[in-house]
Chain A
Amino acid sequence: MNMLRLMLVCGLVLFVFLGAPEAQEKYPNRLIEFVVQSAPGGSADVAARLYSDDLAKVLKVPITAVNRAGGAGIQGVTYVTRAKKDGYTLLQGSGSSIIILPLISKEATYDPLKDLIPLGHFVSVPTVIAVRSDSPFKTLAELIEYARKNPEKLKNSTGGIGTFSYFSLELLCVENKIKITTIPFKSGGEALPALLGGHVDMASNTLTTLGPQMAAGKVRGLAITSKKRDPDFPNLPTTAELGYPDVSFSTWFGVFAPAGVPQTVTSVLVPALEKVFKDPDVVKRAEKAQFTVDYKGPDEFRKFIENEMRLAAKVAEAAKLTKE
């Protein structure tokens, strides 16, 4: 008798789960899977959690940030491009997986502009070229001069070949026709001890990673790739000032939907994202986490991506980075 009762309870429970039909009405009306391209704690993850709850409040549905970190972000993008085009699977895309990886990795079989719809650009993190504070190089020009006289002697640490911090340096090398040996690490955070411990001569890394070290005086920044000088580091010249306006790659994050999602969905998402990304609370949180908020709407975002793709392709070709 006891068993039977247990069975009935369980049957009821199952029935509750089974019997919840979904009405295909207004979008959104159920949980959205928000794919984040890094493992928990990575910068993409941090960025996403800055606003995912606020977005959920605006859209009035729960949003689950799901980490799909495979292949430096490739798996996350692929998952979204193959998902149902109903708007319930969205991607927070990082610049490196959208722009750089399709150039150098044969696993990245997606076309960033054809397979994805850019909905809103959130934040960017500029690249900083830096040396330790006890290094003999006081300006970028000095470093480049040394590199010209001693090809392949300088050692640079970076967070991976597929990152914008690396591409910034490579573009710099291409434009100056110098050779610097780059030692790649798995992430920006892993590349930092190499610089601090004196195992490499310089680093091309994000502002997020190098900023605190610069503030503490352990590291000297030589150039930053943002358009304007960073207010925290007024003495750090931009690459544009130093004569390299093209070296403007920043790591960025934005939200995408798979191509083929209907207009009824995007017309809801775009203004919601705009609202969230311009929300003063979200902006404040992002700035505290060392992200520069720079909202771009879908059209501006698309143009931005096209531009970056061209530049990146140029760098990849010059540095002989290919898909195979």
Chain B
Amino acid sequence: MRELKVGSVFLLFSLFIIYESLRLGLGTLKKPGSGFLTFCAALLLSVFSIALISRGWRLRESVKPFPRKVILALGILILYSLFMDILGFILSTFLMVGIFFRLAQKRPWWTVAGMSALVTFLAYLVFGILLRVYFPRGFLGM
């Protein structure tokens, strides 16, 4: 079942790329176009996807459920990257690290806050000050 799903995803992807590559133009041998390589690669990919699907057709495996924790973690990370500009590096990092500390192990909120404050501060020190990386400032200006 797995291979069926995965193979289909890849197949759809490769068909999409083939379409886009044709749109970009394959060019001529004298001046190969932008879509040339991706067209060939996507073509190959579609062939392999079909092979995978046919293999998956024969074997059927059970699928493990998607762990809740992973989805949550990914959600937090994506939110982090989306909010870093608005909240600023320090605040968003503090929140993110805090939530993860709590997620990894159930500790009292005070401990979590202290730990993440320390970690955020150190990160800012090493990257922001020592290595002079320019971090985004949020609406609080930090």
Contact = CB atoms under 8 A, between A and B. Distances in A.
Q: Answer yes or no: do A and B interact.
A: yes
Interface of A: 3-4, 6-7, 10-11, 13-14, 17-18, 20, 22, 33, 64, 66
Contacts of B111: 3, 7
Contacts of B52: none
Contacts of A13: 117, 121
Given A3-B110, A3-B114, A6-B114, A64 B142 contact: no
26 contacts: A3-B111, A4-B110, A6-B114, A6-B118, A7-B114, A7-B117, A10-B114, A10-B117, A10-B118, A10-B121, A13-B117, A13-B121, A14-B90, A14-B94, A14-B117, A14-B121, A17-B90, A17-B142, A18-B140, A20-B141, A20-B142, A22-B141, A33-B134, A64-B132, A64-B134, A66-B134
Interface of B: 90, 94, 110-111, 113-114, 117-118, 121, 132, 134, 140-142
Given A10-B114, A14-B90, 20 more contacts: A3-B111, A3-B114, A4-B110, A6-B114, A6-B118, A7-B110, A7-B114, A10-B118, A10-B121, A11-B117, A13-B117, A14-B117, A17-B90, A17-B142, A18-B142, A20-B141, A20-B142, A22-B141, A64-B132, A66-B134
B67 to A, nearest CB: 31
A18 B142 CA distance: 7
Identify the 6 closest CB pairs spanning chains A and B, nearest first.
Answer: A10-B117, A7-B114, A66-B134, A6-B114, A17-B142, A10-B114
- The binding surface of chain A is classed by DSSP as helix
- The binding surface of chain B is classed by DSSP as helix
A33 B136 CA distance: 11
Nearest to B119: A10
Contacts of B141: 20, 22
Contacts of B121: 10, 13-14
B62 to A, nearest CB: 44
A63 to B, nearest CB: 11
B132 to A, nearest CB: 6
Nearest to A33: B134
Nearest to B140: A18
Contacts of B117: 7, 10-11, 13-14
Nearest to B124: A17
A214 to B, nearest CB: 30
Contacts of B110: 3-4, 7
A62 B129 CA distance: 13
A162 to B, nearest CB: 15
Contacts of A10: 113-114, 117-118, 121
A87 to B, nearest CB: 15
Contacts of B94: 14
Among B94, B111, B117, chain A packs the most CB atoms within 10 A around the CB of B117
Contacts of A11: 117
B113 A7 contact: yes
A22 B137 CA distance: 13
Contacts of A18: 140, 142
A260 B118 CA distance: 40
A10 B115 CA distance: 8
B23 to A, nearest CB: 11
A21 B78 CA distance: 30
Nearest to A10: B117
A33 B114 CA distance: 31
A18 B132 CA distance: 19
Contacts of A7: 110-111, 113-114, 117
Contacts of A66: 134
B135 to A, nearest CB: 10
A11 B141 CA distance: 18
Nearest to A12: B117
A22 B141 CA distance: 9
A6 B121 CA distance: 13
A14 B118 CA distance: 9
